[in-house]
Structure 1
Amino acid sequence: MTGCDSYNLLADHYGIPKSTILTWHHHDRIAHELIVREHLASGASVKYLALGEGEPFSGSSSPNENLATYKLEGGSLEKSGSMSLDIATLERFGLKPSNTQVIEDDAGIYYINKESVDPISGDYLIDVDGRLSINYLQRLPGKKLAIAFDTSTIEVSEQDIKVLGRVAMEMKKK
């Protein structure tokens, strides 16, 4: 668990004298204090640390990824902070941390898959003449796209806009 391969390193890791660790080892004693310390520091299973049984970490926990968040206002993105999201949640929606952009607006939070830039049907982050927005796109015959703007829909050529990514997941405010 600690990566320590000697008593000296173990003593340094926990900030206790080497002689204490040697005494525990010599008398074949279990260092309960170190089990508790390691559990609190790493979240490792006490059963695993004390008995060597089971898995060190439960399958229910997942490492988190810290993602930058951007505010979409007036057609442009401005960095607004960051948020932590577990990798398992991202993976359930086909997202990878390296290709995910998190965008906030007044309506909610959008998780954009930046790899998905060939629109078929769905909500996408688009660039129209340098202005960004999230709109519903529908592919039409003849390399055309229908873009929904609130209650109206317009038809454009594929070359008229730049698709920056597909909305793979969103959280809406109620």
Structure 2
Amino acid sequence: MNDNRNFAFPENSAIVLDRVVEAYSFTTKLQLAEHLSMAASSLSARYKRNIFPANIVVQCAFETRGTLEWLTHGTGKKYDDGKLDILKFPHKKLIDGQLYDSGYLMFDKVMFSPGIPIPNSPICVFDDKTQYIVDQQFTDVYDGRWLVEIEGKTGFRDLVRIPVKRLRVSGVGMAFDCNLDDIKILGRVVMTCTTN
């Protein structure tokens, strides 16, 4: 029984490399060789070898947004149109009031509740046992949970707007009131995920 779901690399590397040339919008194989910093004779050998050029295909997909399906088999969409339902954004750890880089997080957009806008400039911050999705792009500060920096220390606080251009800051330690400009506001919490 033939199962079409089984993956097989194409036997003809020349066809795959021609698609790579097309994805880059090059008109000659020499342009591809120059782009890859490869001797023309080395690229010619890759054409004749009939061994799948995985490293070239992956680099092309990364640089051109060409889809792996099209580059490999010539089927499906040629380019990723950017309408994926996955967000990739920086992941950070909050340790002793400082943010440290901790890789990236892939997040499915369907995890956001209906009616909540998808964040424009998200980061994920891990603090103790909670992961906070924070949108760093905002136009105004209003009541809610925010990532803030107070006297050089970063943390999450509940902010409430009070007249005139003042905030009530609470959430850790004693609550206090301050001017809007007295603290540095880094982003608004749009979602929390607690782990056990």
TM exceeding 0.5? yes
Equivalent of 2:45, from 2, 17, 27?
17
Equivalent in the alignment of 1:95: 120
Cα deviation digits, residues 54-80 of structure 1 (max 9, x gap) = 42256674686452523232xx21424
Shift of 1:8: 4.8
Cα deviation digits, residues 86-125 of structure 1 (max 9, x gap) = 69689x52223xxx44322112222332333742111111
2:94–2:155 Cα contact (<8 Å) kept: no
Cα deviation digits, residues 29-70 of structure 1 (max 9, x gap) = xx8x76x969x744532599446xx42256674686452523
1:7–1:18 Cα contact (<8 Å) kept: no
Equivalent in the alignment of 1:168: 190
Cα deviation digits, residues 141-171 of structure 1 (max 9, x gap) = 3333222326x87350325433222123333
1:127–1:163 Cα contact (<8 Å) kept: yes
Structure 1 residue runs without a partner (length 5+): 22-30
Rounded Cα–Cα distance in structure 1 between residues aligned with 2:41 and 2:106: 29
Rounded Cα–Cα distance in structure 2 between residues aligned with 1:142 and 1:126: 20
Structure 2 residue runs without a partner (length 5+): 1-18, 34-39, 62-66
Equivalent in the alignment of 1:112: 134
- Counterparts in 2 of 1:142 and 1:103: CA distance versus 1, 3 Å: same
Equivalent in the alignment of 1:72: 95
Rounded Cα–Cα distance in structure 2 between residues aligned with 1:84 and 1:112: 12
Correspondence 1:81-160 to 2 at 5 A: 81-85=102-106, 93-96=118-121, 100-116=122-138, 118-149=140-171, 154-159=175-180, 160=182
Using the size of structure 1 for normalisation, the TM-score is: 0.59
2:147–2:155 Cα contact (<8 Å) kept: yes
Equivalent in the alignment of 1:28: none
**How many residues of Structure 1 are paired with residues of Structure 2 in the alignment?**
154
The 3-state SS of whatever aligns with 2:159 is strand
Using the size of structure 2 for normalisation, the TM-score is: 0.53
- Counterparts in 2 of 1:122 and 1:153: CA distance versus 1, 3 Å: farther
Matched AA of 1:70: K
Equivalent in the alignment of 1:26: none
Equivalent in the alignment of 2:28: 6
Rounded Cα–Cα distance in structure 1 between residues aligned with 2:71 and 2:101: 42
Q: What percent of counterpart residues are identical?
A: 15
- Counterparts in 2 of 1:68 and 1:106: CA distance versus 1, 3 Å: closer
